[in-house]
Amino acid sequence: MEGKIKVLIIEDDPELMMALSMYLRKFGMDTSCAEDPFIGLSLLTQEDFDIVILDLTLPGMDGLEVLEKIRQNSDIPIIISSARNDLTDKVIGLERGADDYMPKPYEPRELVTRIKTILRRTKREHKKEEEKRGNFIVDKAGHTIKFKGKTLDLTAAEFDVLELLITHKNSALSREQLLYESKHIDDESSIKNIDVIISRIRNKIAKIDNSKTYIKPVRGIGYMLLDEE
C-alpha cells in the first residue's frame, strides 16, 4: 500500500475516539474521526480511506445500519469496535460485510495488528482486480487509479467519473450518464457539477503529463477520454 494508511473512526465516545486516533498516529496512520454516523458516511463520499473502525452504539443510527449503508457502495475493510458483546451482533455484523469484530475493551496494539493484517490480505486480493487500460490502471476494489505509474489523488466522486470514462474510453459519454452512474454523486446534483469534477480530474492528470488533453468535450453530448489502446 502506498503512503500512509488512512483510517476513519466512527465512534460516539470522544475520549476513546481521540485515544485510538492518537495511538494509531504513532504507527504512521492518518486518522479522521466522526462521533455522528451521518458525518462518518459523508466523509466516506468525500475522501478515500483504507479502513473504517466502526462502533455499533451510535446516536441517530445503529452501527449495523451504518455498516449496511457503507456496503451498498463500498468494499472498504471495516472493523467493528463495540462494547456490545451479544453474539447476535457479531454474527449480523460479519454477515453484513464486516471484516473483523473487536469487543471492547481491547488493547490498542491489537487494533494496529488487525488493521495491518486485514490490509495485507485485501491488498493481495485487490492486485488481482487491477485492470490496465492504456496509460491508466484501475483498481476497482482498492478504489484507486494510476496514470503512467503514478496514483492519482482522487475523491470518491472523481474516481467514479474517471473510471467510467476509462471503461468507455474513446467513446463519448453524456453528462447525464456520468452523473447517474456515479455512486458517490447525489442524484439531485446539478449536471454542471460534472463539469467541475472533470476540470479537477484534468488538472490532476496534467500534473503528471500536460503534453496533451486526455479528456475532451464532445459538443452536444458530454466528454470522451482519448487514450492509446
* Domain CATH number, residue 187: 1.10.10.10
Give residue-wise pLDDT tens across range 3-31. Answer: 689 999 999 999 999 999 999 999 999 99
Residue 39 and residue 109 in one domain:
yes
Task: Write down which residue in 63, 96, 127 finishes a domain.
Answer: 127
Q: For residues 107 and 87, which has the higher predicted lDDT (pLDDT)?
A: 107
Count of structural domains, the chain: 2
Residue 108 and residue 203 in one domain:
no
Residue 70 and residue 161 in one domain:
no
Task: Write down which residue in 93, 127, 161 finishes a domain.
Answer: 127
Lowest mean pLDDT among 104-118, 119-133, 191-205: 119-133
Residue 66 and residue 170 in one domain:
no
Closest by alpha carbon to 24, among 107, 104, 135?
107
Domain containing 22 — which CATH number? 3.40.50.2300
Using CA atoms, how far apart are residues 160 and 163, in angstroms rounded to an integer?
A: 5
pLDDT recorded at residue 55: 96
CB 130 within 8 A of CB 113: no
The answer on pLDDT for 124 being more than 70 is: no
The answer on pLDDT for 62 being more than 90 is: yes
Give residue-wise pLDDT tens across range 76-90. Answer: 999 999 988 778 888
Q: Across all residues in the chain, what is the average pLDDT?
A: 89
Structural domain range at position 206: 130-225
Q: For residues 134 and 58, which has the higher predicted lDDT (pLDDT)?
A: 58
